[in-house]
């Protein structure tokens, strides 16, 4: 008997079918953020560098610059990641060329993303999209869609309108639905003297942005609690966007698990939203004391998030996207570790005796519930994971793929200027 067959039997004795788990795992796409590859810099400005509510730390050598390098690195990473993948793009990753000359973000159009669409087609990837409302001189006093300066607000409204159009065209080209997620950095470092005005302006901006319905677009707004530099007030708070989404069918509140008070958990928010929303987009990250966007690891809260998705039959409702960017380690390994950890957590959730656990809770058998949950933690999931990688023709052994990344670092990354 192989190790997988032994594990299969062990899970079967608890009523868990590993084959069903593997099938479901292989069908669930993970949207992998392009911005881990270049520290959220994008291609649309010479100065580069992340700013305005986004901060990367570290200067590990070999950062991708430009479309060709980012594509090359992304391909390297996904060659070590099993399962279905989507590429999460930001508008700042527009590919300009002689055929498609530079335009500012308020004028940006689909042509600049055709190279990405071709890339997605070639490698059977989906695409998700985000307007880039940061790292740009039109962010004035830290504000975009909530700015009191009508010129500033208009610029960002137009950028978001263009971003939704681009998303629709990407969706048409790929015959798919594209998540278009709006996140803005707007807020104040110090105590505001008007908390309502910015929110009224943001509400009006959103109404203009979402005025047209696009069949290939799933719209979301990403709430946040605070950021470094905007400690006192965030315009797009969870209450604000949750209320907006609840009163605007077709617009969803995206939950980033780095955007809440440390004692709040996204695992508990998912089942709080499921009775009301047919879609819940996620940004899976690892907050260390704050929204620090550390590489996602196989940790308890991640497993708990995945458990809520699986046991509530919400695999089709919850859109899993990743949002981390660590510039202090090898960026390709960051992608691989973060995405594989996410998939492992999903597999862990798919291998739980969920029916039994629910029954135990309803029967008030909390002692047995605790025993089973603990028992499941040391089941031979690794053998199931290895079998999954084998079937997907992806290297299972971490030591082996890591050597390949080290080789790539020597051959490719270390020769770059950045």
Roughly what angle, to the nearest 10 degrees, separates helices 331-350 and 398-411? 160
Beta bridge partners of 252: 220
| CA distance to 145, 248, 310, 349, 350, per residue, from 313 (Å) | 36, 24, 5, 11, 10
Q: Taking CB under 5 A as the rule, does residue 293 contact Zn ion? A: no
Where helices occur in 144-293 by DSSP H, the ranges are 150-174, 196-209, 238-247, 266-273
Q: Taking CB under 6 A as the rule, does residue 222 contact ligand RNT? A: yes
Residue from 39, 73, 219, 323 that binds Zn ion (CB under 5 A)?
Answer: 323
Q: Which does 324 bind (CB under 5 to 8 A by kind): ligand RNT, Zn ion, none?
A: none
Residue from 153, 224, 307, 344 that binds ligand RNT (CB under 6 A)?
Answer: 224
The residues assigned a catalytic role are: 183, 222, 224, 256, 259, 283, 291, 293, 323
Name the residue nearer to ligand RNT (CB basis): 254 or 309: 254
- What are the structure tokens assigned to 233, written together? 């007030």
Q: How many CB atoms lie within 10 A of CB 193?
A: 7
Residue from 44, 73, 186, 256 that binds Zn ion (CB under 5 A)?
Answer: 256
- For residue 222, the minimal CB distance to Zn ion (Å) is 6
Where helices occur in 175-299 by DSSP H, the ranges are 196-209, 238-247, 266-273
Q: Taking CB under 6 A as the rule, does residue 283 contact ligand RNT? A: yes
> Hey, which bits of 19-109 come out as E strands?
30-33, 85-88
Residue from 40, 78, 202, 350 that binds ligand RNT (CB under 6 A)?
Answer: 40
Interface mask toward Zn ion for 141-160; x: CB under 5 A: --------------------
Q: Taking CB under 6 A as the rule, does residue 183 contact ligand RNT? A: yes
- For residue 413, the minimal CB distance to Zn ion (Å) is 26
Q: Taking CB under 6 A as the rule, does residue 303 contact ligand RNT? A: no
Buried b vs exposed e over 111-133: b needs ≥16 C-beta within 10 Å? bbbebbbebbeeeebbbbbbbbb
- For residue 42, the minimal CB distance to ligand RNT (Å) is 10
Q: Taking CB under 6 A as the rule, does residue 326 contact ligand RNT? A: no
From the list 193-201, 305-313, 322-330, 378-386, the region that binds Zn ion by CB under 5 A is: 322-330
d(CA 129, CA 183): 11
Q: Which does 224 bind (CB under 5 to 8 A by kind): Zn ion, ligand RNT, none?
A: ligand RNT
Q: Taking CB under 5 A as the rule, does residue 307 contact Zn ion? A: no
Buried b vs exposed e over 207-243: b needs ≥16 C-beta within 10 Å? eebbeeebebbbbbbbbbbbbeebeebbbbbbebbbe
d(CA 350, CA 269): 20
Name the residue nearer to ligand RNT (CB basis): 11 or 93: 93
Q: How many residues bind ligand RNT (CB under 6 A)?
A: 11
DSSP letter at 143 equals B
- What are the structure tokens assigned to 201, written together? 């302006």
Beta bridge partners of 59: none
Under DSSP, is residue 13 helix (H, G, I), strand (E, B) or coil? coil
Give, as ranges, the residues between 90 and 149 that touch ligand RNT (CB under 6 A). 130
Q: Taking CB under 6 A as the rule, does residue 35 contact ligand RNT? A: yes
- What are the structure tokens assigned to 241, written together? 């966007």
* Site residues, ligand RNT (CB under 6 A): 35, 40, 54, 130, 183, 222, 224, 256, 283, 291, 323
Contact residues: Zn ion, CB under 5 A: 256, 283, 323
């Amino acid at each position: 008997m192989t190790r997988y067959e032994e594990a299969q039997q062990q899970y079967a004795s608890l009523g868990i079918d590993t084959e069903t788990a593997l099938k479901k795992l292989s069908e669930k796409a993970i949207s992998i953020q392009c911005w881990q590859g270049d520290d959220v810099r994008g291609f649309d400005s010479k100065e580069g560098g992340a700013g305005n509510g986004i901060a990367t730390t570290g200067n590990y050598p070999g950062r991708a610059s430009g479309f060709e390098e980012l594509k090359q690195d992304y391909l390297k990473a996904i060659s070590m990641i099993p399962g279905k993948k989507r590429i999460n793009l930001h508008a700042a990753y527009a590919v300009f060329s002689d055929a498609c000359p530079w335009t500012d973000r308020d004028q940006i159009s689909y042509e600049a993303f055709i190279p990405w669409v071709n890339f997605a087609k070639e490698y059977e990837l989906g695409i998700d999209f985000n307007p880039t409302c940061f790292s740009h001189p039109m962010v004035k006093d830290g504000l975009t869609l909530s700015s009191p300066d009508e010129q500033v607000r208009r610029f960002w409204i137009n950028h978001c309108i263009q971003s939704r159009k681009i998303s629709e065209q990407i969706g048409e080209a790929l015959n798919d639905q594209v998540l278009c997620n709006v996140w803005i950095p707007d807020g104040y470092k110090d105590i505001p003297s008007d908390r309502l005005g910015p929110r009224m302006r943001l509400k009006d901006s959103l109404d203009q942005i979402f005025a047209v319905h696009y069949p290939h677009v799933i719209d979301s707004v990403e709430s946040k609690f605070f950021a470094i530099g905007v400690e006192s007030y965030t315009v797009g708070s969870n209450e604000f966007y949750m209320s907006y989404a609840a009163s605007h069918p077709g617009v969803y509140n995206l939950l980033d698990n780095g955007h809440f008070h440390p004692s709040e958990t996204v695992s508990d928010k998912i089942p709080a939203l499921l009775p009301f929303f047919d879609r819940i987009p996620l940004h899976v990250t690892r907050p260390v004391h704050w929204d620090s966007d550390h590489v996602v690891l196989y940790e308890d809260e991640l497993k708990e998030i995945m458990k809520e998705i699986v046991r509530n039959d919400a695999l089709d409702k919850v859109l899993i996207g990743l949002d981390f960017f660590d510039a202090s380690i090898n960026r390709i390994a960051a992608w691989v570790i973060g995405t594989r950890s996410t998939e492992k957590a999903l597999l862990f959730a798919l291998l739980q005796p969920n029916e039994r656990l629910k029954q135990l809770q309803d029967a008030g058998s909390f002692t047995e519930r605790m025993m089973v949950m603990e028992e499941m933690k040391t089941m031979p999931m690794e053998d199931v994971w290895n079998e999954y990688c084998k079937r997907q023709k992806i290297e299972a052994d971490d030591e082996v793929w890591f050597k390949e990344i080290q080789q790539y670092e020597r051959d490719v990354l270390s020769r770059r200027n950045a």
